[in-house]
Structure 1
Amino acid sequence: MASNPVLESIPTPVAVDTTKQVEAAPEPTVEQTSLEKPRSELTLRRDKAVRNTIVNIVIVEAKGLPDSPDDRNSHGVYCKFRMGSQTHKSKSVPTTRHPQWREKLKLNLCSDQLLHISLWDKGKQKNFMGSCVLDLSLRERERTHDIWQDLDEGFGSIHLSVTICSTRQKESNEVANIEPNVEDWQSKYAFYSVPSDLCVVGQLHVKVIGAKGLCGKPSAYCTIELDNEKIQTPYISSTAEPVWNKSYVFNIYDVTSVLELKVCDSSINSILGDFLGRVSIPLLRIDSGEVRWYALKDNNKRRIAKGNCPRVRLEMNLCWNPVIASLKLFRPKQVKYIAKPPKFDIPLIYKNVKFIRDTFNFLFAINESFKRLFEWEDREYSTTVLCSWLVFWYYFHPWMTPLLIAALFPVVWFLDAKQRTDSRIQNGDDSNDHEEEVQNGESMKDKIKGLPEMTLTITDGIEYMVSVAERLHNLAKFKVPYLSYLAIVLLIGSAGVLYFIPIGYLMMAFGLYKYGRKRINPTRVLNNDLLDFISRIPDNKILKDWKELNVPEPNHYHQRLSASTSVTPDSKT
């Protein structure tokens, strides 16, 4: 049988023992499996930590945006945020080149840690204005970042405040606690050193140790806020004595700022909502390095919060440059991004109206006391005041004015301390607390009854001040030319007297004149010369009373009509 050359050219398959190859393949060693297993666990742990991390975002403003289309329609600009499958749409504000939202939102951190932001113009049609992507993996955890992000596909930039916080204690412990290096801070913010950022005057290190006496067994957490920086601690579940032991660092932009700490409950079955207590701590009252308890107050910050003497334990270290901080006190104060809306508070209105009434009554009492002083009702007291007045103006120089103002501080402090001491002796408690209890004891009915009297006093005082202002304005407008010319002559004469005679001698002569009028004219009426002159000037109400009306001219038609009616029938015949 002839062989096929094509088939002969194809090599015959050879059986291969696959079992030997499989057996020949080296098995993974113990070292390899031990390396691969922790790597997968680390990845899972990182993903879990990301899921237990929240991103607090405050949409502040934008600038440099393009103008809206001129189509005679109202336009509004809004922002869209996207992180993974989560989306958020901000409120719409009128479209300008510098819109402001001042809105806050909260998102869960996703595995890619990318925050997508886009701006849209809302009119008759939606117009795209720009977008950007923010990589949160480059941002430090447990810190508030003030970010100006440029828009990639458009014009302008957007201003955000971003804070990344862990909500679970286990994942939060992976972020290293920042322990303060007090020596480095003191050298960095010493009065002789110039910091790299002149806006930051110092740093505050806050360690939240724990709390006790909270109401119930909440899933407690703290929010710590300083100006526009806000941090949140992890949740501690089902305990009235949570322990956090977390440290945070805040930049200080104003040394007169106040640290606001609020303890909240994240559980669903919270009786008091999410609020458990709060405390306000001024930075200037912080003792650096001291560990102490702070009592938690209610939402109004007047009484202790509900619970078994609820309190929080803190350790704070504060370092700041006194020179830079003092200079910043004369600059505009930093505006908070999220401000509380004003509310109608009847007790607050009553308190303010009462304060204004007491102020007017105090001014009237001071005026009456000066009048009696010049009348020599108490000869010894009037003589002492007159001699002190003469000695003061004899030795007075203009450079002494700041010293005299500075001398008022210890005097007021001494009087206030004396008043508090007397009040403690009488009431056994602080005077302010006693006054507050008295005010709280007043019923709403009593407050409403007292409003007409207080309103009448305030109305009279305001009406008097408005009348004086109108009279001075009418004096400058020559509504009564004689009084205006007289005022000009007196002012020119006063300038000449001040030029030739020192101010001290003039004030001494003024004091002698005031105190000597009683001796010269014992039957005179108590008065104030300047106010008496101003009272001769008319205010706007008096000018309206003085306004003359035009005399109407006689109407010939009415004259003929009256003449025709006056003709009798006998005269016609």
Structure 2
Amino acid sequence: MNSERTRNSIDISGRHAGVMRQRSLWRPSSLANLVSTARRPRMLHSYHSYPSTDNISNNAEPPGCNNDKQRQNCAVVPYKESNKKGWSTIVTIVIVEAKGLPDPPSDGAQHSLYCKIRLGSETYNSKTVQSSHQPIWRERCQLHLNKDHILRVSIWDKGKQRNFMGSCVIDLGSLGKERAHDIWQDLDDGFGAIHLNVTMCAIRNTEEVSNVPSVDEVEEKFTFLDFNDWQIAGKLQVKVLGARGLHGKPNAYCTLELNNERVQTPSVKASPEPTWKKYYIFNVRDVTSTLEVNVYDYSLVSSMGLWTDHLGKVSIPLLRIRNGEMRWYALKDKNNRSTAKGNCPRVLLEMSLVFNPVKASLRLFRPVEIKYISKKPPKFHMNLVYGNLIFIRDTFNFLYGLNEGIKRSFEWENRELSTMALLGWLLFWYFMRLWTTPLLLLIPFMYFWINRDNQHERCFMRQYSKDLIETGQNNDEKVGTNSLTSKLQALPELTITITSGIEYLASIAERLYNLLSFKVPFLSYLTMIILVMASAVLYWIPFNFLMMALGVYKYTRKFLDPERILNNDLLDFISRIPDNEILKDWEELSVPEPPITKHSSLASTRTSSNNF
């Protein structure tokens, strides 16, 4: 009996100590604001979404919580009780930013801010960022949901000591599953608000696709003349049916990401041909966005966020989706260039895109939505440097060749070509009017539209190579020693070519600046006189006739002077203007006076006496 009383007293004291620790961390006003949502409206903004396939009540509460006191006791569920049936839902939280935070205490120490999130028995601390009124984290974490639907968020200042900045609570029971919710939540115990992106997805495949709204039902909400919500241009419906040919026998699950909305399917145990049969709806704000589909292998290590085994991915542009078409998509590797490991790995999807064309068109002229979680910057390796150098060299060579081609088009090297160029030039400027400029821009569109069947293998300027795209530490081993040596030997020539091109562009910019700043007054005054004369000529003579005269001049000067050197008049004039390096060479040093010595002074005295 005494031992039982002692054990009970220890349990009670331990429970009391845990409650006291929670009270010191979470202010009573936070819990009071949580359980009294009917008394005061909270600032909870989430994007409009259709009802989920899961039947979730908007005001779901844990059983037995009928009054405020019982709700406070039910707010924290012990770990053993919440884990009897295992986790059923995973909650993905993106800590984006906060605003309106108070100033940290002025104690002379360097302060930083971090965010603490707790759901049930799980706690997550974000990385620390520099203290400010609007800190930005952009960090993702995953917690598990069971009976406790209360998400507790607090912001702390870290200096000489930890300082509480504010907290808030969010009832996840009022949020629909299987879709993202963008939330700005006011801090109850402080100033400011915090921006979160919350998504709840079932991690157990308990239900198949059912009660899916048809495309016609969704189209009714995005008619041509519907201008209610300008932020959302349409809806994307995706049915993730299954996958085939995956590498090994993974516990495969699939993630779908559209801009800042990310959902996750349940994992299927030990099967290279998993079947999910899940249905998701995404809000479309930009019809030019891309749906990213990734397949992973679920394991204990990946659940802890330490490592994820990537099985394949596919990027699907929204404008290439055919509504209602069930289609297999081949999975690629992480670089999105070659096929993933496995026996022709593929995923089966059925998608439908419905959008308002007026909203979608106007949204294209607005800033692109910034992703909360950006991709990691590429790691430094030899192929990255080599590929960029080749690209810059090819760009300079293309511009040089274009300039040479323009200069030769009106020369007599090819009389037929020069004659046709002159006739085309004269006809063009004779009929040219300002209102025809947009129509002229349609010519390349019409050309490529007529030859659109042959455009799949063409690309402009930049060519992709598997050797240059592959990244990672093992890349140099795959390429081989001979290839690496040849690249190292070619680097000096590439570097000299690129440096010469960059110096030439910088020299032209410096020469133009020196012309404007009267570094050579004669050239500056001459330019001013030419501009005044050009203005008078443009006032009296139509611009079309001037361009026709220019074409005749370009065409006949080679005929009048066969020994003429091919040149560009404007660049030749700019080359007469000095750049900064030439100006430094022109700088004159002060002429020093010779030192006066005793011998030189006596000689000068004798010379003056002889003169007398």
Same structural fold, with TM-score higher than 0.5 when normalized by the shorter chain: yes
User: By how many angstroms is 1:438 displaced?
Assistant: 8.1
| 2:391 corresponding residue in structure 1 | 355
User: By how many angstroms is 1:386 displaced?
Assistant: 0.4
User: By how many angstroms is 1:493 displaced?
Assistant: 1.1
| 2:550 corresponding residue in structure 1 | 510
Q: Secondary structure at the match of 2:445?
A: helix
Does the 8 A contact of 2:103 with 2:132 survive in 1? yes
Paired residue for 1:209, among 230, 241, 245? 241
Q: Are positions 1:152 and 2:208 aligned together?
A: no
Q: How does 1:420-439 map to 2 (within 5 A)?
A: 436=465
User: By how many angstroms is 1:417 displaced?
Assistant: 5.3
Deviations 1:92-132 (A, max 9, x none): 11111100011111111141211111111111122211111
Paired residue for 1:276, among 268, 293, 311? 311
Does the 8 A contact of 2:222 with 2:356 survive in 1? yes
Does the 8 A contact of 2:82 with 2:146 survive in 1? no
- Work out the CA distance in 1 between the residues paired with 2:83 and 2:121: 15
Q: Secondary structure at the match of 2:413?
A: coil
Paired residue for 1:186, among 207, 219, 223? 219
User: By how many angstroms is 1:368 displaced?
Assistant: 2.2
- Work out the CA distance in 1 between the residues paired with 2:452 and 2:505: 30
Q: Are positions 1:80 and 2:80 aligned together?
A: no
151-160 vs 542-551, which moves further: 542-551
Query: Structure 1 residues 450, 221: CA separation in 2 closer, same or farther (over 3 Å shift)?
Result: same
Paired residue for 1:450, among 480, 490, 493? 490
Q: How does 1:125-164 map to 2 (within 5 A)?
A: 125-164=161-200
Q: Secondary structure at the match of 1:523?
A: coil
TM-score by length of 2: 0.78
Deviations 1:510-531 (A, max 9, x none): 0001111112222222211111
User: By how many angstroms is 1:50 displaced?
Assistant: 7.3
| 1:335 corresponding residue in structure 2 | 370
Query: Structure 1 residues 217, 158: CA separation in 2 closer, same or farther (over 3 Å shift)?
Result: same
Amino acid at match of 2:551: G
User: By how many angstroms is 1:434 displaced?
Assistant: 10
- Work out the CA distance in 2 between the residues paired with 1:463 and 1:117: 54
Query: Structure 1 residues 555, 71: CA separation in 2 closer, same or farther (over 3 Å shift)?
Result: farther
Query: Structure 1 residues 352, 120: CA separation in 2 closer, same or farther (over 3 Å shift)?
Result: same
Amino acid at match of 2:340: A
| 1:296 corresponding residue in structure 2 | 331
- Work out the CA distance in 1 between the residues paired with 2:242 and 2:81: 26
- Work out the CA distance in 2 between the residues paired with 1:294 and 1:113: 37
- Work out the CA distance in 2 between the residues paired with 1:247 and 1:156: 37
| 1:25 corresponding residue in structure 2 | none
| 2:106 corresponding residue in structure 1 | 70
Paired residue for 1:499, among 536, 539, 550? 539
Amino acid at match of 1:325: A
Paired residue for 2:502, among 458, 462, 483? 462
Does the 8 A contact of 1:178 with 1:248 survive in 2? no
Q: How does 1:531-550 map to 2 (within 5 A)?
A: 531-550=571-590
- Work out the CA distance in 2 between the residues paired with 1:477 and 1:431: 39
- Work out the CA distance in 2 between the residues paired with 1:291 and 1:168: 24
- Work out the CA distance in 1 between the residues paired with 2:424 and 2:266: 66
Q: Secondary structure at the match of 1:390?
A: helix
- Work out the CA distance in 1 between the residues paired with 2:555 and 2:467: 43
Q: Are positions 1:370 and 2:406 aligned together?
A: yes
Deviations 1:140-197 (A, max 9, x none): 0111110000000100000001111111112xx29x7451331122222122221x32
354-363 vs 444-453, which moves further: 444-453
User: By how many angstroms is 1:249 displaced?
Assistant: 0.4
Q: How does 1:97-176 map to 2 (within 5 A)?
A: 97-170=133-206, 173=207
Amino acid at match of 2:438: P
Q: Secondary structure at the match of 2:465?
A: helix
| 1:388 corresponding residue in structure 2 | 424
Paired residue for 1:225, among 257, 282, 287? 257
| 2:274 corresponding residue in structure 1 | 242
Does the 8 A contact of 2:410 with 2:421 survive in 1? no
Amino acid at match of 1:249: I
| 1:51 corresponding residue in structure 2 | 87
Does the 8 A contact of 1:49 with 1:166 survive in 2? no
Query: Structure 1 residues 267, 561: CA separation in 2 closer, same or farther (over 3 Å shift)?
Result: farther
Q: Secondary structure at the match of 2:335?
A: coil
Does the 8 A contact of 1:146 with 1:159 survive in 2? yes
Q: Secondary structure at the match of 2:184?
A: strand
**What's the Cα RMSD here?**
2.9
Structure 1, unmatched stretches of 5+, are 1-38, 424-429, 565-573
Amino acid at match of 2:465: E
| Length, aligned pairs only | 510
Query: Structure 1 residues 102, 49: CA separation in 2 closer, same or farther (over 3 Å shift)?
Result: farther
Does the 8 A contact of 1:50 with 1:109 survive in 2? no
Query: Structure 1 residues 49, 263: CA separation in 2 closer, same or farther (over 3 Å shift)?
Result: farther
Q: Secondary structure at the match of 1:534?
A: helix
Does the 8 A contact of 2:88 with 2:146 survive in 1? no
| 1:346 corresponding residue in structure 2 | 382
Paired residue for 1:253, among 278, 285, 292? 285
Query: Structure 1 residues 283, 346: CA separation in 2 closer, same or farther (over 3 Å shift)?
Result: farther
User: By how many angstroms is 1:267 displaced?
Assistant: 3.1
User: By how many angstroms is 1:293 displaced?
Assistant: 0.3
- Work out the CA distance in 1 between the residues paired with 2:601 and 2:136: 76
User: By how many angstroms is 1:400 displaced?
Assistant: 1.1
Does the 8 A contact of 2:383 with 2:468 survive in 1? no
- Work out the CA distance in 2 between the residues paired with 1:103 and 1:408: 44
Higher alpha-carbon Rg: 1
TM-score by length of 1: 0.83
- Identity fraction in percent: 55
Query: Structure 1 residues 417, 520: CA separation in 2 closer, same or farther (over 3 Å shift)?
Result: farther
Q: Secondary structure at the match of 1:213?
A: strand
Amino acid at match of 1:258: T
Deviations 1:64-111 (A, max 9, x none): 111122333211111111222211111111111100011111111141
- Work out the CA distance in 2 between the residues paired with 1:483 and 1:434: 43
Deviations 1:354-389 (A, max 9, x none): 122112112222222333333311111111110010
Paired residue for 2:446, among 402, 406, 410? 410
Deviations 1:420-471 (A, max 9, x none): 68x9xxxxxx999997368788933333333322222221111111101100
User: By how many angstroms is 1:242 displaced?
Assistant: 0.8
Query: Structure 1 residues 95, 562: CA separation in 2 closer, same or farther (over 3 Å shift)?
Result: farther
- Work out the CA distance in 2 between the residues paired with 1:380 and 1:323: 49
Does the 8 A contact of 2:384 with 2:468 survive in 1? no
Deviations 1:234-267 (A, max 9, x none): 0110111111110000000111110000011113
User: By how many angstroms is 1:303 displaced?
Assistant: 1.1
Q: Secondary structure at the match of 2:409?
A: helix
Amino acid at match of 2:232: V
- Work out the CA distance in 2 between the residues paired with 1:217 and 1:50: 23
Does the 8 A contact of 2:290 with 2:317 survive in 1? yes
